[in-house]
Amino acid sequence: MKRTINTKKAPAAIGPYSQAIEVDGTLYISGQVPIDPATSKIVEGGIKEQTEQVMKNIEAILDEAGYDFSNVVKSTCLLSDMSNFGGMNEVYGARYKQNPPARAAFAVKELPLNVLVEIETIACL
């Protein structure tokens, strides 16, 4: 059974997609960008501040669906530039101190709203 996940504690979708979809105990979270849901604006600062907001958005969606970071099995990290990898990795790694998920990280030409980072996540119960 397919269940749509939506929370006001994460930014609303800015296109024709859902924050997350759960199917048979697997949660697929759409790519999250560093928008503060309280202001609907991109957080100020560099890659660390932006990654922190992305991780907060992911956490809010996980929580709404009844999951947490220990349930995450795969992340895809999109960066505006690979020079941002170290800062992103530091903040990202703080959420996954033990048994980190599988992950891919790569730079793309451009991200929505000209942000520095976007992360999509898959979690399983």
Do 31 and 119 meet the contact criterion of CB atoms below 8 Å apart? Answer: yes
pLDDT score of 14? 82
CATH assignment of the domain containing 68: 3.30.1330.40
pLDDT score of 15? 87
Query: How many domains is the chain partitioned into structurally?
Result: 1
Q: Residue 109 burial by CB count (10 A; 0-12/13-18/19+): exposed, middle or buried?
A: exposed
pLDDT score of 107? 97
The end-to-end CA distance of the chain, in Å, is 15
Confidence check: pLDDT of 17 > 90: yes
b/e sequence 70-103, b meaning 16+ C-beta within 10 Å: ebbeebebbbbeeebbebbbebbeebeeeeebee
Digit-coded pLDDT (tens) for 27-38: 999 999 999 999
Compute the C-alpha angle 36/26/98, nearest 5°. 70
Average pLDDT, the chain: 97
Give the pTM.
Answer: 0.97
Digit-coded pLDDT (tens) for 61-116: 999 999 999 999 999 999 999 999 999 999 999 999 999 999 999 999 999 999 99
pLDDT score of 10? 98
| φ and ψ at residue 39, rounded to 5 degrees | -115, -15
Domain with 38 in it: 2-124
What the block records as the tokens of 102 is 């599988």
Confidence check: pLDDT of 117 > 90: yes
Query: What distance in Å separates the CA atoms of residue 30 and residue 20, rounded to the nearest whole number?
Result: 6
